[in-house]
Amino acid sequence: MATVTREDAADPLAHLEERIRRAAELVAQLRREKDAAERARQAAVAERDAAVREAGQARAQADQLVRELESLRGERQQVRSRIEKLLGQLDLLSAG
Q: Each residue's pLDDT tens digit in the chain (96 positions)?
A: 455 556 566 688 999 999 999 999 999 999 999 999 999 999 999 999 999 999 999 999 999 999 999 999 999 999 999 999 999 999 888 886
Rounded CA Rg of the chain: 41
Determine the Cα–Cα distance for residues 24 and 32; give it in Å rounded to an integer. Answer: 12
pLDDT at 29: 98
Domain range list for the chain: 7-69
pLDDT at 8: 61
- The whole-model pTM stands at 0.58
